[in-house]
Amino acid sequence: MVDLHGQYLKIRTEVDEAIQRVIDSTAFIKGKEVFLFQDELSAYTGAGHTIACGNGTDALQVAMMALEIKPGDEVITTPFTFISTIEVIKLLGMKPLLVDVEKGSFNMDPLLLRDVITERTKAIVPVHLFGQCAHMEPIMELAAEHGLFVIEDNAQAIGADYLFSDGSTRKAGTIGNVGTTSFFPSKNLGAYGDGGALFTNDQGLAEKISALVNHGMKQRYYYDYVGINSRLDTLQAAILRVKLKQLPAYHLARQQAALFYDEAFSGIAGLNIPERSPYSTHVFHQYTIRVPREARDPLKEWLAGKKIPSMVYYPVPLHLQHAYADLGYGAGDFPVAEKLSQEVLSLPMHTELDAEQLSYIAAEVRAFFKL
């Protein structure tokens, strides 16, 4: 699905030097590379402030802590996302409310959102799934109308541009009160271990978040908040600085691979290529097709037989997961998410796919459909 070694070989000298520089400095925690990386990431995204942390799950948790969402408060997200999004809501004692997604974009359906909001709702967490922004403008409007916070889970769409109806654009993760991201190795901007970050344009919130990820400490050994220990290692920051410079080229490589797939699959009845939303660019964290339910697993097995990996993101929507049974949802509650979980298949998508690999994958997909 990814080729992190091939990607490393092209930046090996720079990465190796960066690692050696950190080891020589021995500033393993909160070293200067962390601050430089934060500044460079702010410059790239246009975020007012970037605060690095230990991983993308912690970033979501800290966002909710910083906004002082309390136990019993309701937080709305979707059933079609990675587990982290709902996990932190539950861990902090809040109540997750779910809203179904759109079939085409896989993202939160803003038209269904209004009916889910109650008196106890405090925040909305749209997820920019697979590399494309959720429809932020109507979500922000509803949030403003009801006085809700918006936390963008931007683990999969760093660098994607959201287009507002007035023609202006903003990068994913910088639109809501707080945005969060992950540097898990296979993400579009991946570290060589765990990492994450939060974005905000609110300086007071940024200061609080910086304290929260470091035990709630503002001045050394004086604690203003109950915090956690979630910092980005200096080694990871140094590696990420090298990779951030490559990110626009990485996105281009992914977009070109996606176009190749699009063309190769055009005209296959029963295969839906990923829809492009008119209000977002797509950075293709995943290239996810939809096929009829009865064809999905056989296609996956067919590809596996040809040594082509593919993955189902996600096979079971969150409301049907054991650990979340007590939320009281059941089968049929989120029909789009349920249908998607049976129809989606993500194909190999990364920065090192060459013409030969793409042709081979495309030919085998077409062969499955007897073309």
> Using CB under 6 A, which of 81, 177, 234, 351 touches ligand PLP?
81
The residue (of 155 and 253) whose beta carbon lies closer to ligand PLP is 155
Position 230 contacts ligand PLP (CB under 6 A): no
Position 78 contacts ligand PLP (CB under 6 A): no
Position 210 contacts ligand PLP (CB under 6 A): no
Those residues whose C-beta lies under 8 Å from the C-beta of residue 245, and which sit 6 or more positions away, are none
> Using CB under 6 A, which of 130, 149, 162, 184 touches ligand PLP?
184
Name 182's bridge partners: 196
Position 125 contacts ligand PLP (CB under 6 A): no
Q: For the residues of 56-80, what is the DSSP string, one character each?
A: HHHHHHHHHHHTT--TT-EEEE-SS
Position 182 contacts ligand PLP (CB under 6 A): yes
Fill in the DSSP letter of residue 25.
Answer: H
> For residue 331, how many other CB atoms are within 10 A of its CB?
10
Contact at 8 Å (CB) between 77 and 46?
Answer: no
Position 314 contacts ligand PLP (CB under 6 A): no
10 Å CB burial of residue 11 (0-12, 13-18, 19+) is middle
Position 75 contacts ligand PLP (CB under 6 A): no
The residue (of 235 and 264) whose beta carbon lies closer to ligand PLP is 235
Q: What is the CA radius of gyration of the chain?
A: 21
Site string for ligand PLP, 151-180 (x = CB under 6 A): --x-xx------------------------
Site string for ligand PLP, 42-71 (x = CB under 6 A): -------------xxx--------------
Minimum Å gap between C-beta 353 and ligand PLP is 20
Query: Residue 165: what residue type?
Result: S
The residue (of 188 and 200) whose beta carbon lies closer to ligand PLP is 188
- Spatial separation of the C-alpha atoms in residues 276 and 288, rounded to whole Å: 12
Query: Residue 121: what residue type?
Result: T
Which residue blocks in 11-135 are alpha helix, DSSP H?
12-25, 32-45, 56-66, 84-91, 110-113
Residues of the shown chain interacting with ligand PLP in the complex, contacts defined by CB under 6 A = 55-57, 81-82, 84-85, 127, 153, 155-156, 182, 184, 194, 196
